[in-house]
């Protein structure tokens, strides 16, 4: 894995109130010796409290989105600097739900990624195809375009993670075959190397996301160039997410 530390990232989406912070303590207690990096991305309302709850543990905390400006008249938005101030070390950008629900283009994702880097945050940049694009055999072309348009030039293995999430697999229970996952991850690795050079291209972690569960994690993590997972619903419960982390440790240890 070219010294890439595996990463288990949890995207809580629009879920969780203060009571859910008990899951952070339970996860920290159970995963104190985990070899993989662990990242939880809660709603903005929980970010600071989760960062405090996770302090001194294996768990890092991130945001789910940020604005491309540091300050300004942008009602309802949160800047990367604000996430950093609240205790975040990372931010998810370009998730398919943001691209679809908020009409985020590759250019917007690229500008947000620049802002995240300027604030000192690691950007988890998401790419993925719809079912129609998959059935039309356009998967590779779509993701190549998203990579080219969404990633700025200053990428490193420290400031960038790429997450491949086929839109049709998110929350549906459907999972691509391991061959399909491997094809996309191999392509992403190749494009990262071509664009940023072998040193950077081999150091950027590439995660798989889309209906990852303890029951299928081992099979997914056995695929070459899968460096971990971006997990949705299964990251809300310490037991479920812990099972995925354990599978990742075993597969990549």
Find how far residue 150's CA is from the centre of its chain.
Answer: 14
Question: Which residue is catalytic, options 67, 95, 97, 129?
Answer: 95
Bridge partner list, 162: 125, 206
Instruction: Quickly tell me which residue has 């931010």 as its tokens.
Output: 91
Q: Round to whole Å and give the CA distance between 130 and 231.
A: 18
Q: How many residues does the chain have?
A: 253
Cβ atoms 90, 122 nearer than 8 A: yes
What are the residues whose beta carbons fall under 8 Å from the beta carbon of 55, sequence distance 6 or more?
A: none
Task: Tell me whether residue 194 is one of the annotated catalytic residues.
Answer: no
Q: Which of 67, 104, 165, 185 is catalytic?
A: 165
Strand partners, 38: 8, 59
- CA dist., res. 31 & res. 233, Å (int): 19
Give the span between the Cα atoms of 69 and 167, in whole angstroms.
28
The angle subtended at Cα 182 by Cα 178 and Cα 183, nearest 5°, is 120
To the query of whether residue 107 is one of the catalytic residues in this protein, the response is: no
Match 């694009």 to its residue by tokens: 133
- Residues assigned a catalytic role: 95, 165
């Amino acid at each position: 894995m070219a010294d890439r530390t595996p990463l288990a990232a949890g995207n809580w989406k629009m879920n969780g109130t203060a009571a859910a912070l008990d899951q952070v303590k339970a996860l920290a207690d159970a995963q104190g010796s985990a070899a993989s990096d662990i990242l939880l991305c809660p709603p903005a309302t929980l970010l600071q409290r989760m960062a405090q709850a996770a302090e001194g543990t294996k768990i890092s905390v991130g945001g789910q989105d940020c604005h491309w400006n540091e300050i300004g008249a942008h009602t309802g938005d949160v800047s990367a600097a604000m996430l950093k101030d609240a205790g975040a070390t990372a931010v998810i950008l370009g998730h398919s739900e943001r691209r679809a629900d908020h009409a985020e283009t590759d250019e917007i994702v690229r500008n947000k990624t620049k802002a995240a880097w300027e604030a000192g945050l690691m950007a988890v940049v998401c790419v993925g195809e719809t079912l129609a694009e998959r059935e039309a055999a356009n998967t590779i072309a779509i993701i190549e375009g998203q990579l080219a348009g969404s990633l700025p030039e200053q990428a490193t293995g420290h400031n960038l993670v790429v997450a491949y999430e086929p839109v049709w697999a998110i929350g549906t229970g459907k999972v691509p075959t391991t061959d399909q996952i491997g094809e996309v991850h191999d392509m992403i690795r190749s494009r990262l190397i071509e664009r940023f050079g072998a040193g950077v291209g081999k150091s950027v972690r590439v995660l798989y996301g889309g209906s990852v569960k303890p029951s299928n994690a081992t099979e997914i993590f056995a695929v070459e160039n899968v460096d971990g997972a971006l997990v949705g619903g299964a990251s809300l419960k310490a037991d479920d997410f812990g099972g995925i982390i354990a599978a990742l440790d075993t597969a990549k240890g």
